[in-house]
């Protein structure tokens, strides 16, 4: 329901605190990576993945603990803010009560979001010469655990914050649905800006996600598609 006049200021503050508090570090890393690609032509090492040659199992365990803490901390912030107004994660459409509907929504979410993303992903990436073919990076097989954990963490946290929470609060403020799609997609693009023009890929991915979410009000299909896509990309970028 639209927010009352008395709560509009509080809702705007919540949007700023949650989006910047949870996704701010990722936005900062993306900006630094863009600067590195543009100036030096080299990508920053992934700050979310810890490599410790000779101590691979320890590196994977530490990285997974770090990702779990980051995920839990972000969800705690969202849940706390929701509880202040008598809401829960169910308000955002995150629950296990509509499994059949969620399964049926996987197809439209995947087709629309990934179909739109493919349009933007063909644009040139920052710091990558045209025609460059990507060679998968060889890493020990145990790091696949870290990569999958990272994909799951990103899928859950990003969709809860940038899709569910942000769009729900914007709609409660009376923002037009199409403008909600634009704002949510641009926020998603902000922490992928290191791709340069190819950032339009994640932005259009967000457009597809937001359009289906506004109609369905269900988060699990978006989380599943996002995490599944990230896992697929990981196994294209690394040779375990």
pTM: 0.90
What gap in Å lies between CA 94 and CA 89, rounded to an integer?
5
Residue 85 backbone dihedrals phi, psi, to 5 degrees:
-110, 20
Predicted confidence (pLDDT) per residue in 137-172, tens digit:
888 999 999 999 999 999 999 999 999 999 999 999
What gap in Å lies between CA 180 and CA 91, rounded to an integer?
17
What gap in Å lies between CA 130 and CA 11, rounded to an integer?
44
Query: Residue 214 pairs with which residues in a beta bridge?
Result: none
What is the maximum span of the chain, computed from C-alpha positions, in angstroms?
59
pLDDT score for 47: 67
pLDDT score for 31: 87
Query: What are the sequence ranges of the domains in the chain?
Result: 5-128+136-239
pLDDT score for 1: 55
Burial (CB count within 10 angstroms: exposed 0-12, middle 13-18, buried 19+), residue 182: middle
Q: Which two tokens stand for residue 172?
A: 């409660």
What gap in Å lies between CA 66 and CA 236, rounded to an integer?
24
What gap in Å lies between CA 33 and CA 119, rounded to an integer?
23
Predicted confidence (pLDDT) per residue in 179-217, tens digit:
999 999 999 999 999 888 999 999 999 999 999 999 999
């Amino acid at each position: 329901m639209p927010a009352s006049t008395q709560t509009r200021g509080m809702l705007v503050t919540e949007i700023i605190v949650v989006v910047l508090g949870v996704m701010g570090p990722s936005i900062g890393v993306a900006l630094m990576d863009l600067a590195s690609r543009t100036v030096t032509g080299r990508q920053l090492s992934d700050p979310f993945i810890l490599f410790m040659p000779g101590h691979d199992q320890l590196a994977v365990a530490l990285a997974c603990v770090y990702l779990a803490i980051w995920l839990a901390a972000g969800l705690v912030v969202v849940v706390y803010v929701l509880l202040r107004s008598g809401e829960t994660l169910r308000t955002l459409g995150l629950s296990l009560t509509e499994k059949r509907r969620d399964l049926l929504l996987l197809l439209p979410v995947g087709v629309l979001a990934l179909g739109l993303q493919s349009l933007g992903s063909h644009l040139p990436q920052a710091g990558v010469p045209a025609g460059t073919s990507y060679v998968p990076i060889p890493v020990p097989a145990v790091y696949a655990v870290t990569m999958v954990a990272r994909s799951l963490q990103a899928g859950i946290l990003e969709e809860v914050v940038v899709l569910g929470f942000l769009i729900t609060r914007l709609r409660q403020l009376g923002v037009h649905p199409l403008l909600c799609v634009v704002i949510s997609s641009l926020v998603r693009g902000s922490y992928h800006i290191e791709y340069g023009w190819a950032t339009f890929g994640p932005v259009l991915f967000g457009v597809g996600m937001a359009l289906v979410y506004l109609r369905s009000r269900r988060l699990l299909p978006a989380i599943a598609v996002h995490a599944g896509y990230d896992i697929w990309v990981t196994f294209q970028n690394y040779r375990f």
